[in-house]
Amino acid sequence: MQSTFDERNWLVWLVRVRIFILTLLLGIELAVAQFTPAPLPLRLFVSTILFWYSLSLFYVLLLSLWQEHRLQASLQLLSDLILVSLVIHETGGWDSSLNFLYPLVIIVASVLLPRVWAQLMAALAFILYGTVLELNYYGVVPSYCTTHPGLKTLQGIISVNLFAFLAVAYLAGLLTAKLRQVGVQLKNTSGALESLQALHENIIHSISSGLITTGLDGRITLVNGAAQRLLERTPAELFGAPVQPLFLDPLPTVEWQQAHGEVRFDAPTKFRKTVRVRVAALTVPERGDLGFVYVLDDLTEIRRLEREVRMQDRLAAVGRLAAAIAHEIRNPLTSIAGSVSMLSGVPEMNEDHRRLLDIVTRESQRLNSIITDFLAYSRTKQYHFDKVDLIQLVEDTLTLMDHRMTAEKTGITITRRFSAAQAWTMADGDKIKQVFWNFCENAVRAMKGSQVGGMLTVAVESHGEDWQVGFTDTGAGMSPQQIEKIFEPFQSNFEGGTGLGLALVYQIVQAHGGKVWARSKPGQGTTFVLRLHRLEVGQPVSTEVKASDQARALVAAGGGRG
C-alpha cells in the first residue's frame, strides 16, 4: 500500500499527465476538425475540455487543503471516467478513436488504489462506455457517429471492450503489485545498506587510532575523527590534500620491509608531535589497489615520558655525585684559598706574581660558587605552600627586571598578556619567583647575545584546570638537541653560566606538582611554559612541605634552555 507521501506525489503526477493529454487531444481534434468534414460539435467539445482543465486546477488546490488523498484519488478517477465518456460521445461514439482513455484511467486506478478498486473502475468504464453506445444507437441522445453498425456488431464492440477493460485491470493490478513488492524490497535493501554504511562509518570514526586513506596519487580521500584531532585540522583542510606534506619525515611505504615507522609533524598549536604510522595497500577485489591506508598512533606523550625518565636518572646521578664530592672538594679549596691569601701579603712578590695570585683567588671563588650551587641543588629543601596570586608574583619579578634592563640600557621591552586579573594557586611564592627570575635571566641573555634590543612577552592564561605562564623572547632560539637537555645540570648555553639555574627550576616545579617545558626553533626565539594547578575551593591554604626534589613527581619537561 502506498504511503500518504507517495499518494500525494502520484496525485500531482496525475494532474500533470491529465493536463498534458487534454492539451494534446484538444490540438488534435481541432486540427482534424479543420481538415475533415467530421460532425464534431466543436463548441461542446471545447467546453468539455475547458471544464476538464478547470476541474484539474480545482484538484490541485484541493490537494493542499484536504489530506484525505485516497478519497481524492477516487474522486478524480470517477470524474475522469465520466468526462472520458462524454468526450467519446462527442467524438463519434463507436467511431471515436479516444476509447483508449478508459484503459489509461484503469491503469492509474491500479496504481493509486487497491486491486479491487481497479476491477471496479474497469466495470464502471464498461458500463459508461456501453451506455454511451446504447444511447447513441437508439437515438436517445444526439449522435455524432458517421457509421451505423448493426445490433450484433454493436454488441461485439461492447463485449470486446469489456474483455479489454477487465484484462487491463487484471494485468495492471498484477504489475502494480509486483512493482510495489519490488519497491518495498528495494526500500528495505536500501535501508539495510544505509544502516551498514552508517555502522562502518561509526566504526571508523569511533576507533581511537587515527585513520587516513589516500588514492594512488597520495591525496587524502577519508580521515576519521581521531586523525582530525591528532592533526588538529578540519576535514575541509585535509580532504583532497596530499598526505606527505603534513609530516616532517618521510612516511613509510608498503614496499618497506616493515611498513611502519615514526614521523614528526608540527601541529597548528606550534607543538611538535610524534606519531607511529602503519601503512597498507587499499585493495578491492577484482579492482586491485586503489590507494593506501595509514593508521596513526600518538607517541608524543610516551616519548616525552621516556625523556622524563632519562632526565630523572641523570638528575639522580648528578645529585648523588654532588652530595658525595661537594664537601670533599670544598675543604681543600678552602685551604688553597687561605694559603693564596697569605702568600699575597709577602712583600718580596713582584707584580707578575701578584697577578697570578689574583687569578688563583678569582678561580677559587668561582669554583666555590659552583660547589655552593651544587649543594643548593642536592640539598633537601623546605617549601612553604600558601595561597598566592601568580599575576602578582609575575608583576613583582617583571618590575625588578624592568628596572635592571633600564639601568643597563639593554633596549629590551616587556609585554604583558594576562587573561585574568588574578590567578590563585597553592605554591611557595619565593620559589616561584625564583623560577620566573630564571626564565627572565635566560631570555635577557639570549636577546643580548643575538641582537640589539628585543621583546620579552609574558602571558598568563587559563588552561583547563591549570594556570599557564609563558615567557617568550625574540632571541636566537635553540636546536632540538639543546632543548632535550636544557633542564639537565651543566647544560648552560651562555658564557660564564654554571648550567644549574634551570635544573633548580625543574626541581622547584617538580616539588609543586606542576609542569615545565620549552619550545624553540633556531632563529625564532624561545618560549618557557609553566603550568600550576588552580586553587580549588576547600583546599588547605597553608602547609609545610619537606621533601627531596627527586621524590616529587607529576612534572612534564618537554625541553628548554639553561
The boundaries of the domain holding residue 286 are 210-298
Q: Say if 63 falls within a structural domain.
A: yes
**How buried is residue 272: exposed, middle or buried, by Cβ count under 10 Å (0-12/13-18/19+)?**
middle
What CATH code is carried by the domain that includes residue 407? Answer: 3.30.565.10
Give the confidence band of 301 by pLDDT, cuts at 50, 70, 90: confident
Rounded to the nearest integer, the mean pLDDT of the chain is: 79
Phi, psi of 426 (to 5 degrees): -95, 115
| Residue where one domain finishes, among candidates 377, 408, 434 | 377
pLDDT digits (tens, 9 = 90+) for 331-356: 677 777 777 777 766 777 777 777 77
Chain segment 508-549, per-residue pLDDT in tens: 898 888 989 888 888 888 999 999 998 864 455 544 444 434
Residue 560 confidence (pLDDT): 38
- Domain annotation covers residue 167: yes
**Residues 341 and 315 grouped into a single domain:** yes
The answer to whether residues 92 and 177 belong to one domain is: yes
End-to-end C-alpha distance for the chain, whole angstroms = 81
373 with 518, same domain?
Answer: no
Q: What are phi and psi of 249, to 5 degrees?
A: -110, 155
Last residue of a domain, one of 270, 298, 326: 298
State the cell numbers at 187.
Answer: 526500500
Q: In this structure, are 362 and 485 located in the same domain? A: no
| Interatomic CA distance for residues 189 and 195, integer angstroms | 10
Same domain, 183 and 268: no
**Regarding beta strands 381-389 and 542-547, do their DSSP bridges make them parallel or antiparallel, or are they unpaired?**
antiparallel
User: Is 287 a member of any domain?
Assistant: yes
What CATH number is associated with residue 234? 3.30.450.20
Question: Does residue 200 lie in a domain region?
Answer: no
Confidence (pLDDT) at 376: 65
201 is a domain residue: no
Asked if residue 347 and residue 216 are part of one domain, the reply reads: no
Interaxial angle between packed helices 69-90 and 4-35, expressed in degrees from 0 to 180 and rounded to the nearest 10: 10
Q: Phi first, then psi: give them for residue 419, nearest 5 degrees.
A: -85, -5
Q: Let me know whether 358 and 485 are in one domain.
A: no
- Higher pLDDT, residue 266 or 95: 266
Q: Using a cut of 0.85, tell me whether the model's pTM lies above it.
A: no
41 — alpha (psi -120 to 50), left (phi > 0) or beta? beta
Residue at 557 is within a domain? no
Question: What distances in angstroms separate CA 296 from CA 208, 245, 283, 512, one per listed residue?
Answer: 9, 15, 19, 34
In a domain, 403, yes or no: yes
Both 222 and 289 in one domain: the answer is yes
Per residue in 307-333, pLDDT tens? 878 777 776 776 667 666 666 676 677
270 and 311 part of one domain: no
Strands, E, within 48-132: which ranges? none
- Examine the domain organization and report whether 119 and 242 are in the same domain: no
- Grouping H, G, I as helix, E, B as strand and the rest as coil, residue 473 is coil
Number of structural domains (the chain) is 4
pLDDT of residue 559: 36
- Same domain membership, residue 313 and residue 240: no
Indicate the residue among 271, 298, 325 that finishes a domain.
298
pLDDT confidence of residue 528: 92
Shared-domain flag, residues 155 and 36: yes
- Given a cut of 90, whether residue 470 has pLDDT beyond it is yes
CATH number at residue 331: 1.10.287
pLDDT confidence of residue 504: 83
